[in-house]
A = this chain, B = another copy of it.
Amino acid sequence: MSELSATNVSATPMEKFQEYLVTRGMRMTRERSIIVEEVFASHAHFDAEQLVEQLSRRQDRRVSRSTVYRALEQLVEAGLLRSVARQDGREVYEHDYGYPQHDHLICRKCGSLTEFHNSEIRTILEEVAREHGFRMEAHRLEVTGLCNDCCRPPVTRPEKLNLL
């Protein structure tokens, strides 16, 4: 029962981060708590730049870019966030903690990021890892192509109409 804290799955992100910090002699500062609050206020994908901008609109306190980058690294390490893709040269993050495992369809044209869930993939990867004596910790699967909206060919009209 002494391991309860280590396996507690019902804690809030803030509590989980707190736990991560204290077990490493680190501190829950005002800046870190603001960042966690902001990050978990919505479920959207985001990159460092977007987070910096969102934070700059808050009135409670300014958080510097450096602190944001440092916190993102810690949140990933703590298992609260994961980096899921790279877009326009920036790392894209999303909630990891308390959010079901999934992967992404990335449209190369409009940049849209669509989540999909398929449990077989994880099963296959576990088997593959076992075969290779590899201890899998995470995976990142980016499926690129054209989304439903961008699939439609650039021709505005079918050839048939040109018969006239």
Interface residues of A in 106-137 (CB under 8 A from B): 107-108, 114, 116, 118, 120-121, 124-125, 128-129, 131-137
- Shortest CB distance A94–B (Å): 16
Q: Mark A124-164, 1 if CB is under 8 A from B, else 0.
A: 11001101111111111111111110010000000000000
Q: Copy number in this complex?
A: 2
Give CA–CA (A107, B132) in the complex, Å.
12
A108 vs B76: C-alpha distance when bound (angstroms):
14
Contact A135:B120 (CB < 8 A) given known A86-B86, A143-B128: no
What B residues does A118 contact at CB under 8 A? Answer: 124, 128
* A143 and B136 form a contact (CB under 8 A): yes
Interface size on A, residues (CB 8 A): 32
Tell which of A108, A135, A148 has the most Cβ of chain B within 10 Å: A135
A105 within 8 A of B: yes
The chain B residue sitting closest to A151, CB to CB, is B135
Q: Are B86 and A114 in contact (CB under 8 A)?
A: no
Across the interface, do A144 and B133 meet the contact criterion of CB distance under 8 Å?
Answer: no
Which residues of B sit under 8 angstroms from A128, Cβ to Cβ? 105, 116, 118, 143
Point out residues on A near B: beta carbons under 8 Å: 86, 105, 107-108, 114, 116, 118, 120-121, 124-125, 128-129, 131-148, 151
Q: Which 10 A-B pairs have the closest CB atoms?
A: A133-B148, A137-B145, A136-B145, A135-B146, A139-B143, A140-B142, A141-B141, A135-B145, A105-B134, A135-B151
